[in-house]
Amino acid sequence: MPTTNTRSSLRTRRTRSGNGGATKPASGASAKSSNGKKSKSENGAGGNSQLEKLFTDSLKDIYWAEKHLTKALPKMKKAATTDELKSAIEEHLAQTEEQVTRLEQVFELCGKKAQAKKCDAMEGLIKEGESVVEETEDDSMTRDAGIIMAAQKVEHYEIATYGSLVQFARTLGMDEAAALLEQTLEEEKETDQKLTQIAESSINEEAEQEEKEETEEEE
Ligand SMILES: [Fe+2]
Ligand SMILES: [Fe+2]
């Protein structure tokens, strides 16, 4: 039936559209914010919509994740081999500390006290990073290649989260919160790109060389 087919394909399209950083919010929802109407939350009065609840729950998750990262990043820096990776981690640690503060500002804009809720995904990603360190040799390039891979998994998780949070905030008419979250989103994207550059500049190739040397020794 043509009508049914049209409906189902429409539904499929709607289901597929995500909340990625570059994606525009759903038209119905964006109409509210484009009117310049502030939500109850941005006025500090708190709101009751289900999206608002999802928004604040997700804020608690990422708040826990960022705080956890401020403790994990110094360990990663210490474990890294090259000065280049060490300084990239150090720079991102400073950004992460700012991101924690930014999240506290977003909570304030929601009229809520900043609250952290354990983020199982971030805990797992950080554990994975610790395993990479345990499984690679000290002062090796393979260690750095592994740390970069683990760190990029973290950045991608953050990019997905902040991409959605920016869109939720816009949909809720919380433009100030959206701008703060977007600042963090851009930092996560830049960090991801920087890590790619570091890996591709020499670390991956030198790590591959390490494997060859070990194989030759074994033979
Ligand atoms: Fe972050
Ligand atoms: Fe990050």
DSSP 167-215: HHHHHTT-HHHHHHHHHHHHHHHHHHHHHHHHIIIIIHHHHHHHHHHHH
How many whole angstroms separate alpha carbon 36 and alpha carbon 3?
Answer: 36
Q: 81 CA to middle of ligand 2, Å?
A: 20
Q: 158 CA to middle of ligand 1, Å?
A: 6
Q: Name the DSSP letter for residue 39.
A: P
Topology annotation, domain 40-213: Ferritin (1.20.1260)
Q: 217 CA to middle of ligand 1, Å?
A: 41
pLDDT of residue 162: 98
How many whole angstroms separate alpha carbon 105 and alpha carbon 39?
Answer: 16
Q: 190 CA to middle of ligand 2, Å?
A: 9
Judged against a pLDDT cut of 70, whether residue 26 lies above it is answered with no
Q: 155 CA to middle of ligand 2, Å?
A: 5
Q: Tell me the whole-structure pTM to 2 decimals.
A: 0.78
- Maximal CA-CA distance, the chain: 72
Inter-CA distances, 16 with 10, 159, 197, Å: 10, 18, 31
Tens-digit pLDDT profile for residues 77-111: 999 999 999 999 999 999 999 999 999 999 999 99
| Band of residue 209 on the pLDDT scale cut at 50, 70, 90 | confident
Q: 96 CA to middle of ligand 1, Å?
A: 5
User: Residue ranges of the domains in the chain?
Assistant: 40-213
How many whole angstroms separate alpha carbon 119 and alpha carbon 143?
Answer: 26
How many whole angstroms separate alpha carbon 187 and alpha carbon 114?
Answer: 21
pLDDT of residue 71: 97
| Band of residue 182 on the pLDDT scale cut at 50, 70, 90 | very high
